[in-house]
Amino acid sequence: MAAPGLRIATRKGLFFTSRDSGWKLASPNFLGDNCSAVLRHPVSNAVYVALDHGHFGVKLHRSRDDGESYEEIPAPAYPPTDENAEPWVDMMGRTIPDSLQLIWSLEAGHADQVERLWAGTIPGGLFCSDDGGDSWQLVESLWNDPLRRKWFGGGMDFPGIHSILVHPDKPEEITIAVSCGGIWQSTDDGASWFSIGEGMKAPYTPPEWASDPGIQDVHRLARCRSMPDRMWLQHHAGIYRSDDAGRSWKIIEDVKPSSFGFAAVAHPQQPDTAWFVPEIKDEHRIPADGRVVVNRTDDGGNSFKSFYQGLPGPNAYDLVFRHALDVDQSGEILAMGSTTGSLWVSEDGGKSWQTVSNHLPPIYALRFDHS
Amino acid sequence: MPTVIFTSNLRRHVNCPTTQAEGETVAEALEKVFEKEPLLRGYVLDEQGALRKHMVIFLNGDALKDRIRLSDPVTRQDSEIFVMQALSGG
């Protein structure tokens, strides 16, 4: 099996490297443009890049030749405003726009669905394409759910879908996570949705809301591919584990140096192994003691090992965003990128890291080609 | 016929030469341009047809009044419609 390529979406372009090249960076695409998400479809091999041009809006590009050339394709679009409907005002009193603000997550459908794509967006719309991105449909069953109006913005002004997990054995089961709107699941290929996630707690909300699954600030949701009922989540208020595909959660206490963070990655084969990147919560959002660290559990969250080798500190203030940590399908090779423009890779399951660059633009997302 | 001019920064992303376009309102004139260059619409307007938050249009030197429907009347045949980036949001 060829070593995987790694695509890195940054504030100023899309970068590429691979183990085969000795982790040398190739010439970037979209240099100067703000890349919010990237996906290489594991079945069609098409590469998708989401851009946020600021002034000119959110765009989507596709490459059918593995990144040699790109074409602009339609971006997901919200349907016309119903002028008779009540505007959506969140609990902070902010009116949520019905126009695309950001493509925050891009995922392929099940392996049997060659041209299926999912896009999670801000302000909270989930979109689906069955023609490789030539056209997109808003998943109206979710958008029109009255409980969806309880969602509100977390780190962003407006709510957004950042995690989309298609069940590896059941193509019709899709689970998404929302900041801030908890976890939602469909078991009928998106025709209907329900809020799941008993056990999560949001101590930063009024007490009567704290246990409501539909308002939780999930930072990132991950699952073990070979045991899909095992899920991990990095929540605003801690790390959680689920053994029933997200329906219920148990908090994992006393994680050092911190249980706050954004990224969460599950080992593809070993259900008891997962990685997290601790930060000081939540008004600081910097590494504890100025040392970048990766935490790994190998026993289902009963204990964590903190790995520092090859990572900077003290006086390192890199923040790792939720989409900026990934593992390849072997479970041995990891990559991590930071807001400071540092890119590191590990070839031993996260124990030690090597620096690819300390001078990239701020890194929003990275991912291995899971082909 | 009114002239429609786009910021040169937009040319990096999409074809948008200076062009002539008829219309009783700014919206109608722009629609004529978008008919020829459909991708351009999404760079100037959002999917609800409103002017993007960090864009600005000047009609004969005056900032557009109706950013939602672009209904400002184009009354002169020698009108100039400048589509530019606002000095915000960059």
Of B9, B43, B90, the CB nearest to A57: B43
Of B47, B86, B90, the CB nearest to A99: B47
| B59 contacts: CB under 8 Å, gap ≥ 6 | B26, B72, B74, B79, B80, B81, B82
Q: Which of A275, A280, A266 is nearest to A313 (CA)?
A: A280
Helix (H, G, I), strand (E, B) or coil at A370: coil
Give strand pairing partners of A346: A334
Give chain A positions within 8 Å (CB) of B34: none
Asked whether the whole model's pTM tops 0.80, one would answer yes
Over residues B23-43, the pLDDT tens digits come to 999 999 999 999 999 999 999
Helix (H, G, I), strand (E, B) or coil at A42: coil
How far apart (Å, rounded) are the C-alpha atoms in residues A242 and A368?
25
The torsion angles phi and psi of A39, rounded to 5 degrees, stand at -150, 135
Instruction: Copy the structure tokens of residue A364.
Output: 């929003």
Instruction: Copy the structure tokens of residue A283.
Output: 């008004």
B86/A56 Cβ within 8 A: no
A53/B90 Cβ within 8 A: no
The pLDDT of residue A1 is 46
Residue at A190: amino acid letter: G
Q: Which residue has the higher pLDDT, A209 or A264?
A: A264
CA quadruple A245, A249, A255, A257: dihedral sign: positive
Over residues A84-135, the pLDDT tens digits come to 888 888 887 888 999 999 999 999 999 999 999 999 999 999 999 999 999 9
Predicted ipTM of the assembly: 0.90
CB–CB of A115/A129 below 8 Å?
yes
CB–CB of A196/A184 below 8 Å?
yes
CATH number for B3-85: choose from 3.10.20.30, 3.40.50.720, 3.30.260.10, 3.40.50.300.
3.10.20.30
Cis peptide before A314 (omega within 30 of 0): yes
Query: What residue ranges do the domains of chain B occupy?
Result: 3-85
How far away is chain A from the Cα of B54, in angstroms, using its nearest Cα? Answer: 5
CA quadruple A249, A255, A258, A264: dihedral sign: negative
The pLDDT of residue A280 is 83
CB–CB of B33/B83 below 8 Å?
no
Over residues A318-353, the pLDDT tens digits come to 999 999 999 999 999 999 999 999 999 999 999 999
Residues of A with a Cβ under 8 Å from any B Cβ are 53-57, 59, 72, 75, 77-78, 80-81, 98-100
